[in-house]
Chain A
């Protein structure tokens, strides 16, 4: 068990910078999720930590030991690959035993360890089978068993659930959570699926284009996104963005967009501090999550007028697509709503639910965190 430190990591592939000055700290026993779209650098970070790639700059520390120039096996980390990487010509038992055999452990010890790992993952009946005879879920468990058996300081998981079908994914997700609770091994988990991230991680590190966007608990990242990217990446349907500008009126701020003129609560934007910054930045975006918007009759004060374009009933809710504020807005509403396409409505919301993003994408809310490595301190403090 150990903590993993990634200090100012830079990794380039040719001319492309896959990872740009990323610093992360994974606490001992923590389950950290690296979340982001493909190509954002999350897998690269994992591979550098494992030792499968070399860092161009920056340091990796595992358990207080600098491991940049240490062979992968000596780093004492175990990796679970997306396509399991099981040795096809060896039985399940041999697959699990392989790392111990390489380490020349005594046979009795190997057998005991294999049985223990197989037991934890429910593989006792499959020990003599070949990987080719197993289902996807079973293969995943063998890969996990092989990782566990080494009793590593840290687990590195690279999108392990991507190759499973939806049903199996949900089941295996729960099993992984239980496994982590049982073993308590520090884990770095890479995924592009935000549901996995939200349900599994202690903290989520959101990445895009090789830059760490934000790191925090799932609630932090969802409720107080640091920028437009994080705000729209988490949440489905994504947060709505309405273009406009801020105007200072009578000691408070008002948001003005196409057909939109709404007051902003002082809890959201603190007038004196931000005045100059906002004026310097120019255009802003108003961010509203679909579940925070209520639909009211047209002509209501304090909201944004709009017209319903599409209705998508999904059983538990109805998703409305509304033309408002010069753009399309997704609203989640009551499944019994009587609205029809073409109806005029007013979109209403609690003023303190609103996010305001500056021209550079930054969240201007008072309680939004800053972007970058200082987030770790913010998270630790907050």
Chain B
């Protein structure tokens, strides 16, 4: 206020700092509420069916029962049973063997096919569609189909073996062969997806880089090793982690083809959990195994985030 004229300068503030702060808070609150309202429909089921169950799972590992009857707290008994019971270790081993074999096989084949499809584009659409079809089949169908392939009496493999005179093999009676069948079934199923994935990644590599390499005199294999692979590496890494996490949970095919047999040689982690929870009524062990599975997956997820982050960090420092 000007002391002389008693007028207010046009630029004088009308609100006190206190009033300002209050009005500002109210205004911002009004807008935040809308944001939360938009999130509510998702977060409600999210909390009830995703977040809570995770913690409940942890709690259950110290209980027994609960599915058909009330849960009873038993402390560390489940964990002790699991520790002494070698079944779980076998299951984890089987799962690990399966994951390694399946990923190695499917990635090699997918990359191979993707390279071919990338180079020979004419008519590639037909092949892409064909490769995609097994993906559409539910795993149970895949299981059924491979019954036809691996069956002792009329399966395709035994057919071929008898025709060439080697004699039939009881595939589902042999632990290693049974596991191999599961691997092949899942590889057969997933090939389409990963081929398309690698194809997309390859097509992301700018043509000019390969041309430049060719002009520099690099031959096919050299170009592959020194240009394609390094550029593919981030996508490859990401794919490997995703594939590991997904394949660790293999279940459907096991259920249909081998039911974990023979003698638990194809029992995977999820199969173990399933058996204990819903078939043998050894719920305690199932709960503990579920927590272990959760732990493994979370560890792998964290590893993948860390790997991705460190690549970005390394690249940034390389460019600095």
Does chain A touch chain B in the assembled complex, meaning CB atoms less than 8 Å apart? Answer: yes
**Chief secondary structure at chain A's binding surface:** strand
> Is there contact, CB below 8 Å, between B26 and A69?
yes
B130 to chain A, nearest CB (A): 37
* Interface check B11, CB cutoff 8 A: yes
A7→B23 CA distance, assembly (Å) = 17
The number of residues on chain B lying at the interface, defined by a beta carbon within 8 Å of a beta carbon of chain A, is 12
Report the minimum CB–CB distance from A131 to chain B (whole Å): 27
- Inter-chain CA distance A21–B15, complex, in Å, is 16
Given contacts A68-B24, A69-B24, A69-B27, are A7 and B12 in contact (CB under 8 A)? yes
Q: Is B121 an interface residue (CB 8 A)?
A: no
Extra pairs beyond A7-B11, A68-B27, A376-B10 (6, CB < 8 Å): A5-B11, A58-B13, A59-B15, A66-B14, A68-B20, A69-B26
Taking the nearest CB of chain B, how far is it from the CB of A244, in angstroms? 37
Residues of A within 8 A of B23 (CB): 68-69
In the complex, what residues of B have CB within 8 A of residue A58's CB? 13
User: How many A-B contacts are there with CB distance less than 8 Å?
Assistant: 32
Docked pose: A58 CA to B20 CA in angstroms: 9
CA distance A36 to B294 in the complex (A): 57
Query: Using an 8 Å CB-CB cutoff, how does the interface string of B13-52 with A read, 1 for contact, 0 for none?
Result: 1110000100110111000000000000000000000000
- Chain A interface residue count, CB cutoff 8 Å, equals 14
A83 contacts B by Cβ under 8 Å: no
Q: Is A23 an interface residue (CB 8 A)?
A: yes
Complex contacts, B12 vs chain A, CB 8 Å: 7
Cβ-defined contact, A8 with B13, below 8 A: yes
| Least CB separation from B10: chain A residue | A25
A373 contacts the other chain (CB 8 A): yes
User: Which of B10, B24, B26, B27 is A5 in contact with, Cβ under 8 Å?
Assistant: B10
Q: Which chain B residues numbered 293 to 314 have a C-beta less than 8 Å away from chain A?
A: none
- Asked if A54 is at the interface of the complex by the 8 Å CB criterion, the answer is yes
Tell me the A58-76 residues at the B interface (CB within 8 Å): 58-59, 66, 68-69
B63: shortest Cβ distance to chain A, in Å?
Answer: 48
Can you list 14 A-B contacts (CB < 8 A)? A5-B10, A7-B11, A7-B12, A8-B11, A23-B11, A25-B11, A54-B27, A58-B13, A66-B14, A68-B20, A68-B23, A68-B24, A69-B23, A69-B26
Establish whether residues A373 and B11, one from each chain, have CB atoms under 8 Å apart when the complex forms. yes
Nearest 8 A/B pairs, CB to CB: A69-B27, A23-B11, A7-B11, A69-B23, A59-B13, A7-B13, A25-B10, A373-B11
A8 to B13 alpha-carbon distance, docked (Å)? 8
Query: B11, B12, B13, B24 — which one has the most chain A CB atoms within 10 A of its CB?
Result: B11
A54 in contact with B28 given A68-B23, A69-B23 (CB within 8 Å): yes
Which residues of B lie under 8 Å from residue A54 when comparing CB positions?
A: 24, 27-28
A153 to B44, CA, bound (A): 43
A298 CA to B193 CA, complexed, in Å: 82
Which residues on the A side are within 8 Å of B28 (C-beta)? Answer: 54
* A58 to B13 Cα, complex, angstroms: 7
From B20, B23, B28, name the one whose CB has the most chain A CB atoms within 10 angstroms.
B20
Q: How far does the Cβ of B101 sit from chain A's closest Cβ, in whole Å?
A: 49
* Chain A neighbourhood of B20, CB < 8 A: 57, 68
Q: Measured between C-beta atoms, what is the minimum distance from B68 to chain A in Å?
A: 54
One digit per residue, 1 when the CB lies within 8 angstroms of any chain B CB and 0 when it does not, for chain A 129-172 equals 00000000000000000000000000000000000000000000
Task: Determine the distance from Cα of A8 to Cα of B28 in the docked complex, in whole angstroms.
Answer: 21
Q: Mark B227-262, 1 if CB is under 8 A from A, else 0.
A: 000000000000000000000000000000000000
Closest partner residue, chain B, to A55 (CB atom):
B24
Residues of B within 8 A of A59 (CB): 13-15
